[in-house]
Amino acid sequence: MTNRSLSILVVEDHPTIAAQVVGFLDGLQWQTDHAATGALAIELATREPYDVVLLDLNLPDIDGLDVCRAIKARAPRNVPVLMLTARDAFEDKARGFHGGADDYVTKPFDLRELALRCEALARRGQLHVEQQLRVGPLTLLPRERRAFCNGVPVTLTQAGFKILLMLCTAWPRAVSRSALTHELWGADPPDSDALKSHVYALRRQLERAGAPDLVATVPQLGYRLRPDAATDE
């Protein structure tokens, strides 16, 4: 398995299957969230930048295909969706792929294969990261790990660049503190509020580049970019 800790949303209403999948992925030191309903899945997937969503089609409140479409339309980035279902007919698989699924696994499945598919989907998602991200005065070149503000290069720490990349990718949505913490430290975050210190340093770096209020705090959630800050009175 990869050394990279992935962030996975498991959408499964069957408690035994959910516990097995979450337990196995937790054992790989991956970060997992669980949703037993379609409504909660949409809420989480549109708030957190997951690497992969594992989506059961048979949910108690919303059809899995509709959940997939909602996630694809509203998630902060184009998160890969792997559908888990007992529906194994070709027509069912075709509907799944046409509904936006990136992969399809029928039950019962091997948990080891499931993890390998998650890794493959996460790698595929990284390959499709835009070569250039622009938000207001800010331009990021993710592959080159370079940032510019109003065309002027901005010197960033490694942590600062990761934070800014997540904020740019999610914009105009906010990114939660937990998602940023996981991006920086994986499953082993520091005891101190190191994230706050990194955000403070990032703001100082952007201030020196002429964008003092670009990173805004969202109470009870995290942070988001405010590209119109330069024009605020």
Confidence of residue 229 (pLDDT cuts 50, 70, 90): low
Question: Which amino acid is residue 44, in one-letter code?
Answer: L
pLDDT of residue 220: 85
Contacts of 146 (CB under 8 A, 6+ apart): 140, 153
Sign of CA dihedral 118, 123, 124, 126: positive
pLDDT of residue 130: 52
Is it the case that residue 232 has pLDDT exceeding 50?
no
Confidence of residue 233 (pLDDT cuts 50, 70, 90): very low
- Cα 59 to Cα 115, 206, 224: the distances in Å are 22, 45, 32
Is it the case that residue 80 has pLDDT exceeding 70?
yes
pTM for the predicted model, two decimal places? 0.60
Please name the fold of domain 7-127: Rossmann fold (3.40.50)
116-170: pLDDT as tens digits: 999 999 887 555 455 678 888 888 888 778 899 888 888 889 899 999 988 988 8
Domain ranges of the chain: 7-127, 133-231
Is it the case that residue 173 has pLDDT exceeding 80?
yes
23-78: pLDDT as tens digits: 999 999 999 999 999 999 999 998 887 889 999 988 999 999 999 998 888 776 67
Please name the fold of domain 133-231: Arc Repressor Mutant, subunit A (1.10.10)
pLDDT of residue 231: 42
pLDDT of residue 76: 64
Is it the case that residue 191 has pLDDT exceeding 50?
yes
Q: What average pLDDT does the structure give for the chain?
A: 86
Confidence of residue 85 (pLDDT cuts 50, 70, 90): confident
Place of tokens 């499709």: 128
Q: CA–CA separation, 73 vs 197, rounded Å?
A: 33
Share of the chain above pLDDT 70, in %: 92
Angle, in degrees to the nearest 10, between helices 177-185 and 158-170? 140
Q: CA–CA separation, 23 vs 128, rounded Å?
A: 29
